[in-house]
Every structure is written in structure tokens, then in C-alpha cells.
Amino acid sequence: MTAIRPAGSGGRPAPPAAGAAGAGGRGVGSTARGSMFGLAGSAANALFGFVLVAVITHGLGARGAGAVFTGVAAFTILSNALKLGADTALVRFVSRDLELSGGAGVPALLRISVLPTLLASTTGAAVLLCSPGLAGLLLPELDPGQAAALIRLFAVFLPVTTVALVLLGATRGYGSVVPFVGVEQIGKPALRVLLAVPLVLVAPSVTGLSVAWLAPGVLGAVAAGVSLRRSRRTHPGSGQPPSRVREFWAFAGPRAVSSVFDIAAVWIGVILLSVLGTGTDAGIYTAIGRLVTAGSLLQLAIRLAVAPQISRLLAGDDRHGARHLHRLSTRWIALFSWPVFLVLAAFPRTVLSLFGPGFGGGAAGLVVLAAACLVNVGVGNAQTVILMAGRSVWNLVVAGSAFVVQLGSGIWLVPRYGVLGAAVSWGLAIVVDNGASALLARYRLGFRTVDRGYRCAAVLGVVTVALPVFALRTLFGDTVPGALLGIVLAIGAFCAAVWRYRLPLGVGEFFGALRKRGSGNSP
């Protein structure tokens, strides 16, 4: 989607980036290994997230689940806003500092980033604690006292969660996806499920399940701090790097605003449905969003890996390596992600039935978002390229334009069409954001996406999956037997085609990179 996160861990400073990537060089090898680990984490995150939504919706129903996820939406938007763009800035500046000074400037970077975000998030929490009227606006279907208590509960956890995200940004800058994946994609999602299941079985409530979602953030913050300390010890650096306060915040400032747009794109539909529609619609839309996020897990995994790698390659003036890395990663994102969204578009009602009765009404919205996500994964991580090239202002303009489109269309469509209206508004934003980012990356930065391998991946992924799943949809309808048979046939055809066209797809290059270990990027 429009949002959304890091490649080998390295126990010592990396050598200069010349030759750090290139065709199948160290950058690609490190990125491939990081991508595979990130993919495993993203898969775990998608699985636990799916289970959590299913548990909460089964325990509270669509209406109660809508209240919980409205609180989650507001909390997520606020925490991403109040980190002030420092997490993304640390990915870029820590990775650059490792390239130039071996990590000597990281302590200074942490000093100028963590304290402002702590102050901002604490102030935001205080505002929430002192604004009981906001609870009634966000959660009109709850009792006013219960709504106010819920908002205060989320406020208490806001500072620790926000600072943890910033610390994890620094660990990503060191070139390791392990802390981020371990905390955000495996640890916290798994703990949320472990806490939520007994609550649903014994005493399901909106407040209890909100605590189950929030509490793992405290342990996540501790783990982030420990991981960052370990990375700093293994990369002490040398020399006295120049002060970068102005440069850091000149980059982070625009990113702070654009990150709000990014995360709001994912959650604003939930809030609009809660305020302008019903809590039931908000619960259904949350389930749709979870499916869309699961479909994008490979893109997220590769984003985790390529961000610091591209930053370091550009810092070392290895533009050829950075561009090659982008083309190769985009090819594999498209190849393996398009089939997922084609299946979602072919059998939306069947897939949504996994969340329980009453969710089939979101089928049309899921089809709309699946179509928009074909554009999203088709351009790869163009936003990451723009940010790691230091063009955070470009990213702000694009993300802001997409958000204006989404909010404006959502205010008009949601009261009329409910879940479908929210999905259409998000789909429009996805196309605007990713399309504009791809054009900027191509024509202003020279990062070309489409080549022979990409065209082969596109045709193969669409033909081997679209034909069987939509043929089975026509024969059996949107049913469980049709979905299962279509998926089985598609998997067989897809695997056979990938093997048949492995040379133009670059299968050997991609998986061969998994075995290569660059001296500066060893995991």
C-alpha cells in the first residue's frame, strides 16, 4: 500500500560500496537473505494478524471489533505521526554513517532523534488524556464513559510505542532486519494472539482485547533498546563525524508528514466508517485491510531489505548497483504478489467468510482493493527509492496528494456506499501514490523498473493464475470448492512456468544470491 519497512546484520563496518551490489554482488546477496528473513516475518505477521482479527471478530462481533480497531487505527496514526519521521531518517543516516565512518556518528544521531520524539509522544498522550470529547467522536456507538476510558488506555501506551519505532529504525540502518522483524512482525503479533485467545474464551470485552493489543508494545520497546545497544557495540566507528542536525531534520520533517499520510491511508477508512457509518462496517473493513496487507507481505519484506542497501549504495556512488537492486526486487515482488491479489479478486466472499458470518458484504470492496494493489506491487518499492535518495519532499508531495484524494472521496463515498466507498477511496489513493512515485523514480532518478525479466514475470504471473482461478469462478461461483480447486491448479501451473522460464526470470541469480556472503554484510 502507500505505507509501509529493511538486510544482513554485519558484525563490522562495511567497506566502501563500490562493488557492494552490481549484478548478483554483495548488495543483492545481502538483500536477498534479508528479504527471505523479512518474508518469513511478514508471513508470520500476516498469519498472526489474521488470527487476531478472526479471534476479536468472533469474540465481539463486527460491531465490538469495530470499536477495538477504531482505537487501534487512531493509535497507529498518532504513533506514526509523533515519531516525526525520525525512524526513516535513521534508516538513511545510520546506513550512510556506517558507509562513511563505520558508525562513529550514530550516538549523535540518536541524541538528536529520540528526545524530540519522546517529548512529542508524551505531549500527544497528555492531550488524549485531557480530551474526553474526542472519545465520543471516534466511538459514538459506545457508552461515553467506556469510550473515554478506552481512549485514555491507548494514550498511556503511546510514548513507549512511538520511541520503540524510532529505535527500530536505527537498527534497520545497521543493515539487520532481525530486530524489526522479531519485534514488530513476530513478537508483538504472537503475544497479542496469546493474550487475546483466553480473554475471548473467558471474558471478551472491548477494553480487555484493547489491552491485549497494547501490552506487547512494552516488551517490544525493551527488545528494541537491547538490540540497538548490541549493534552500537559491534560498530563503534572511528573519527569525529560532522554534526548533521540540520540535514537530519530537513529530511525527517517532510517524512514526518508523509508518514502520517501513509499510515492514515491504511486506517482512515476504519475511522470514517466508525464516524460516518457503523461499527459493523468498520469491523468488516478492518478484515479487508488485513487481507490486503497479507497480500503485500513480500513487498514489505523486500522493502525491509532494500532500504538501507540502496542508501549505502547511493552513498558510495554506486548508482548502477542500486538500480539493479531495484529492478531485480521489483520483478520478484510482481511475480509472487500479483497471483495473491488475483485469487482475492476471484473469490472475495469465500475468503472473507473465514472471519465469520456477516463479512461477505465486503466482497465488492475487497475486489476493488485487490485491483488497486496490482498497481502497488507492480511498481515495487518506488517510494523507498525516493526516500533513500534523500527526496523526502517529493515523497511528501506525492503522499499528500494521494491522501487528499482518499479523504475527499471517502467523505463523499462512505455515507453513500459504506465499506465499498471506503475501499474505492483507498484504491484511488493507492494508484495515485504508487503511480506518481514510479514516474518520479524513473524519470527524475533514473530507476527503471520494466525490463525483459519484468515483462516475463508479469505475463507468467497473470496468465498461469488468472486463467485457472477465473475459469473455476465461472464454473463453480464464489464457493469454497471453486476456490480450493482454482488455487491448486494455479499453483501447479505457476510453479511449472517459473521453472520453464527460470533463465529470463533470473531465478538462478536471485537464489544464487542467497548463498553469497559479502564481507561487509554477512548475516
Does residue 468 sit within a domain?
Answer: yes
Look up residue 491 and give its three cell numbers. 499453483
- For the chain, give the percent of residues with pLDDT over 90: 19
How far is it, in rounded angstroms, from Cα 100 to Cα 383? 24
Look up residue 185 and give its three cell numbers. 512482525
Average pLDDT, the chain: 80
> Please, are residues 505 and 18 in contact by the beta-carbon 8 Å criterion?
no
Range of the domain at 127: 26-513
How far is it, in rounded angstroms, from Cα 365 to Cα 211? 30
Does residue 522 sit within a domain?
Answer: no
Does residue 296 sit within a domain?
Answer: yes
- Greatest alpha-carbon pair distance for the chain in Å reads 69
What single DSSP character describes residue 361? G
How far is it, in rounded angstroms, from Cα 388 to Cα 408? 30
Give the pLDDT confidence of 75-120 residue by residue, as tens digits: 888 888 899 888 888 888 888 877 777 777 788 888 888 899 999 9
Does residue 425 sit within a domain?
Answer: yes
**Would the pTM count as exceeding 0.75?**
no
**Is 487's pLDDT higher than 80?**
yes
Does residue 17 sit within a domain?
Answer: no
- Within 13 Å, how many C-alpha atoms sit on residue 32's CB side? 26
**Is 368's pLDDT higher than 70?**
yes
Give the pLDDT confidence of 201-259 residue by residue, as tens digits: 887 788 888 888 999 989 989 999 898 888 888 776 665 565 577 888 888 888 888 87
Does residue 9 sit within a domain?
Answer: no
For the chain, the domain total comes to 1
- pLDDT (average), residues 306-317: 77
Give the pLDDT confidence score for residue 401 in this predicted structure: 92
Residue 479 makes CB contacts below 8 A (sequence gap 6+) with: 347, 350
Does residue 8 sit within a domain?
Answer: no
Look up residue 217 and give its three cell numbers. 508494545
Give the pLDDT confidence score for residue 405 in this predicted structure: 93
Q: Which value, to the nearest 10 degrees, does the dihedral of the CA atoms of residues 511, 514, 518, 523 take?
A: 160
